[in-house]
Amino acid sequence: MYDEEVEMKSGSAIRSVAVTGGTAQAPGSGSVEYRQRQQLERYLNFFSSLAFSATLLASWESAGGSLLAGLYNGGPAAIVYGIIVSAAGNLAIASSLAELASVHPTAGAQYHWSYVLAPCCPRFLSFFQGWVTVFSWAALVCIAPYFIGTQIQGMVVLAHPEYEQERWRGTLLMWAVVLLPIIINIFARRVLSIIEVAAGIMHVVFLPVTIATFVILAPRNPNAFVWDTFISGLSGWSNPGVVFSIGLLGVITPLSGVDGVIHMAEEIKNAKTVVPRSMIWGTVINSIMAFAYLVAILYCMGNYEEALTSPTGYPIIQIAYQATGSKPATFVLMAMGMLPGWVALFNGLASVTRLTWAFARDNGLPFSDFFVRVSPRYKIPIRALFLVASVVIVISFIQIGSTAAFNAILSLSTMGLYISYLMPLIFLVLKRFTNPQAIPRGTFSLGKWGLPINLVAIVFATYFAVFLPFPATLPVTAENMNYAGPVLGVVMLFACVDWVFRGRHKWNGPTMKYSQE
C-alpha cells in the first residue's frame, strides 16, 4: 500500500509518499516534503492503552446518566435487551475496525482507511469523512462535562429542593469540569499513562461496590418487571419497534467511541498489535459492565414514576436516594460513577486532539499550518487541543438557550461516529467482493469471519444512525425537536463547500507512514 516506509524520530524532517487509495491516485502524489516535524513520542504500553480504551467509553457511568432515554421510551425491557443489541453491534464494529487498525494504526484512522479502500474519489471521500469524524468527536467530548456538571446540579437540588436549576449554571459547571483535563493534557502528559491505569482500576472496582450497595439496601423488583415490562405511549410514539429503537439512545451512547484509542496510535508502543487488542477488550469489558449495572439498577429501582419525573433531572439520582434513604450515601454513589467518567474526559480530549492534529497535518483544516504545530516543550499538538477546547466551550452555550438543542448535539456526536464507521466498512466489504487480494493483512485478522462480521457491523451502524436523530417525544415542537439530523447536514454541507473552495487544492489524502515501535 505504500511506496516507501519511513521511520519517524522526534525532531526529524519528514519525506513520505502518498498512499494509494482505491483505483485513483491523488493529484500531486509522489515524493512530498512536509512542512512539519513529527514530535509525538510513543510512551503508552498495552496496559495503559487498554485502560485508556476501557475508561474512555465509561460505559456503566454513562448508562446511569442516560437512563432517562430508555425509561421514557421502552422501559426496563428496552433497556436490558437494548444493551445486548448495543453490545453485539459495537463489538462487531470494534472487531472490524481493529482489523484495519492492525494495518494502518494512525491518528487519522477512519479517513485514512477510507482513502486506502475507496473504490472511487478517494480524496473527496476521505476529506468529507475527516470533517464528519472530527466534528463528531468534538461533540462527543461534551458529553462527560455535560453529564457531570448537570448531575452536580441535580445533587444540589436533592440537598436543597428550593435551589433553582438554571441552565447557565450548568454551563459554568461544564467549564469547571473540563478545566483540569485540559491542564493535565498540557502539563502532565507523561503522567497520563499512570492516570489511565488508576482510572481503569476505579472503573472496574467501583462497579461491584455500587451494585452491592443497591442489592443490599434496595427492595427487589420481580423478574417480570426487569425482563418483560415494555412501556410505550409515554412519549407519544405508539409503534413498539420505533419506541424500542428510540429508547436505544440511552444504551448506544455508553458504548460509542470504540475508535477512541486508535487516535492515540502514534503514541502507543507496538501499535499494530496493541491498538486492536485494546479496542476489542475495551469494548468487551465495557459491554459486560454496562449490562451488569443496568440489570442491577432495574432490579433495585423503586417507584418508576418518581424516577422518571425526578426534579434532579436524572432518574439515577432518585433511584440511588430511594435505595439508600440517605442523601450523603446517594452523593457517594454518584461520585463513584462521576469520577471515572471525569477521567474519561482526559482520554476524550487527548484522542480528539490527536485526530484534529492528524487532519490538520494532512491539510484538512483551514489554517492547517497553524494547528499542525506540536509544542517542542510539551510534545503535544497544543494548538489543536485549544481548538477542541474552544469548540467544547462554544457548544456548551447551546445549553443556555435550549436543553433540547444540547441533547441533539449529544445524539449528533453518536450518529456522526457511526456514519464515520460506516464509510470504511462499506468500502472494505466492496473490496472483499471486487478485489480481495488487494486487502492488506495486518497483525490481527478476522479470517473467514471477516465478511460476516463486517456485514453485521454495517447493519448495526446503519440501524443506530437511522434512529438516533428521531425526536424522543410526539408531537414535535421547536422545544423538543431533535436537531441532530439538521446539524449534521450543515456539517456535511460545510465539508462539501470547503472541498470546492479549498480542500480540492490542498488535500492529497493521508500521506504518512509511521513506525510502530
Half-sphere exposure of 85 (CA within 13 A, CB side): 20
Contact between residue 117 and residue 105 where contact means Cβ atoms under 8 Å apart: no
pLDDT > 70 fraction of the chain, expressed in percent and rounded: 88
Helix, strand or coil, per DSSP, at residue 329: helix
- Indicate whether 8 belongs to any domain: no
pLDDT digits (tens, 9 = 90+) for 139-151: 888 888 888 988 9
Q: How far is CA 175 from the centre of its chain?
A: 20
**Residue 447: exposure state from Cβ atoms within 10 A (0-12, 13-18, ≥19):** exposed
Quick one: pLDDT band at residue 36, thresholds 50, 70, 90? very low
159 versus 481: the higher-pLDDT residue is: 159
Task: Determine, yes or no, domain membership for 515.
Answer: no
Q: Which residues contact 246 (CB under 8 A, 6 or more apart)?
A: 69, 73, 74, 235, 237, 467, 470, 472
Has residue 5 been placed in a domain?
A: no
Task: Please state the pTM of the whole predicted model.
Answer: 0.85
All residues at 6 or more sequence positions from 86 whose CB lies less than 8 Å from its CB, including other chains: 248, 251, 252, 254, 255, 287
The answer to whether residues 335 and 370 touch, using CB atoms and an 8 Å cutoff, is no
Q: Is residue 307 domain-resident?
A: yes
Query: What local confidence, expressed as pLDDT, does residue 33 receive?
Result: 43
Is-contact 246 472, C-beta < 8 A? Answer: yes
Would you give the distance in Å from CA 376 to the centre of its chain? Answer: 29
Is the peptide bond between 475 and the residue preceding it cis, with omega within 30 degrees of 0? yes
Cell of 58: 465509561
Q: Is 311 exposed, middle or buried (0-12, 13-18, 19+ CB in 10 A)?
A: middle
- Amino acid (one-letter) located at 36: Q
Tens digits of per-residue pLDDT, 2-24? 333 333 233 322 333 444 444 33
Full 3-state SS string of 6-33: CCCCCCECCEEECCCECCECCCCCCEEE
How far apart, in Å, are the Cα atoms of 120 and each of 23, 384, 431? 6, 30, 12
The residue with greater pLDDT, 425 or 394, is 425
For range 73-83, the mean pLDDT: 93
Of the candidate ranges 255-259, 283-287, 397-401, the one whose mean pLDDT is the lowest: 397-401
Q: What confidence category does residue 30 fall into, taking pLDDT thresholds of 50, 70 and 90?
A: very low
pLDDT for the residue numbered 43: 62
CA-wise closest residue to 50 among 270, 335, 246, 209:
270
Q: Give, in degrees to the nearest 5, the angle at Cα 22 between 18 and 25.
A: 40
CB contact at 8 A, 109 and 354: no
The pLDDT value recorded for residue 226 is 92
3-state helix, strand, coil in the chain (%, to 5): 70, 5, 30
The top-scoring range by mean pLDDT among 184-198, 318-332, 368-382, 394-408 is: 318-332
Report yes or no: 351 and 279 within 8 Å, Cβ to Cβ: no
* pLDDT tens figures, 416-442: 899 999 999 999 999 888 888 777 787
pLDDT-based confidence at 210, cuts 50/70/90? very high
> What is the per-residue pLDDT for 407?
67
Residue-level length of the chain: 517
pLDDT at residue 118 greater than cutoff 80 = yes
| Residue 396 included in any domain | yes
Distance CA 422, CA 462 (A): 7
Give domain status of residue 135, yes or no. Answer: yes
Report if residue 252 sits inside a domain: yes
CATH of the domain at 198: 1.20.1740.10
* Any domain includes 33: yes
Helices (H) and strands (E) in the chain — how many of each?
23, 2
Q: Domain tally for the chain? A: 1
The answer to whether 472 and 235 are in contact (CB under 8 A) is: yes
What pairs with residue 231 in β-bridges? 74
Average pLDDT over residues 192-206: 81
Domain span at residue 214 reads: 15-467+478-506
CB 209 within 8 A of CB 336: yes
